[in-house]
């Protein structure tokens, strides 16, 4: 027999379904804690940003600390394979048949299956780089190209404001080195 337990934010009590005999549960106050400061211990974005700003060389140890939340480990041999992957730069917006063909070759033709990889939008005037990754590059590129995104963060409002023509796109297709990282746990 299943019952229902729910939290009421309004009166700070746990409510229980009396039909299953849970009336002995005492009312417990709920405590919430909100912080605008992200924990650096488990925040891969903050770890990566701190490392980049430190100017220190990137090591296998640093990479694995950043990937810790993803339950991934990169080995030395896999890192060497990764470093061999070359990016292909594409001018935006893509309007020629040749450009569309190149995009399909790098990302796949379908947004439901295709290639994984890393992509980098490079602002033509400032040189600022916005880096991301996806296991379905075609779907992610369609997301950016169709304007189907919330105006959040630093990159998306800029992309919305200045348009694709303000950027170059570099794609690092990882289909040939799919098993780059080994799942742990």
Domains of the chain: 1-34 (no CATH), 38-70 (no CATH), 82-183 (3.40.1440)
Residue ranges, the chain, pLDDT below 70:
1-42, 175-185
- Please report the pLDDT score of residue 12 as a whole number: 39
Q: Tokens 């804690």 belong to which residue?
A: 33
- pLDDT for residue 42: 61
Cα 83 to Cα 76, 95, 151, 177: the distances in Å are 11, 30, 32, 11
Q: What single string gives the DSSP state of each residue in 1-35?
A: ----EEEETTTTEEEE-GGGT-TTPPP--------
User: Which of 1, 31, 45, 7 lies closest to 19 in space, CA to CA?
Assistant: 1
Q: Residue 53: its pLDDT value, please?
A: 86
* Residue 183 backbone phi and psi in degrees, to 5: -65, 140
Question: How far is it, in rounded angstroms, from Cα 66 to Cα 109?
Answer: 31
Cβ(172)–Cβ(118) under 8 Å? yes
Torsion 101-103-106-111 (CA) sign: negative
At 105 the pLDDT is 94
Q: Quick one: pLDDT at residue 41?
A: 55
Between the CA atoms of 47, 51, 57 and 61, what dihedral angle is there, to the nearest 10 degrees? -20
User: Residues in the chain, how many?
Assistant: 185
């Amino acid at each position: 027999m299943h019952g229902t337990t729910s939290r009421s934010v309004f009166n700070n009590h746990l409510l229980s379904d009396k039909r299953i005999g849970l009336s002995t549960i005492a009312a417990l106050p709920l405590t919430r804690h909100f912080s605008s400061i992200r924990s650096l211990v488990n925040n891969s974005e903050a770890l990566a940003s701190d490392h980049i700003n430190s100017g220190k060389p990137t090591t296998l140890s640093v990479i694995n600390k950043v990937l810790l939340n993803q339950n991934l480990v990169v080995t030395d041999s896999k890192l060497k394979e990764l470093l061999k992957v070359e990016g292909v730069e594409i001018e935006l917006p893509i309007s020629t048949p040749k450009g569309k063909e190149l995009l399909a070759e790098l990302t796949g033709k379908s947004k439901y299956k295709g290639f994984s990889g890393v992509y980098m939008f490079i602002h033509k005037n400032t040189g600022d780089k916005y880096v991301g990754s996806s296991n379905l590059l075609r779907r992610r590129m369609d997301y950016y190209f169709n304007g189907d995104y919330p105006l959040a963060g630093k990159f998306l409002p800029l992309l919305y404001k200045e348009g694709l023509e303000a950027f170059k796109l570099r794609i690092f297709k990882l289909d040939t080195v799919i098993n780059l990282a080994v799942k742990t746990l």
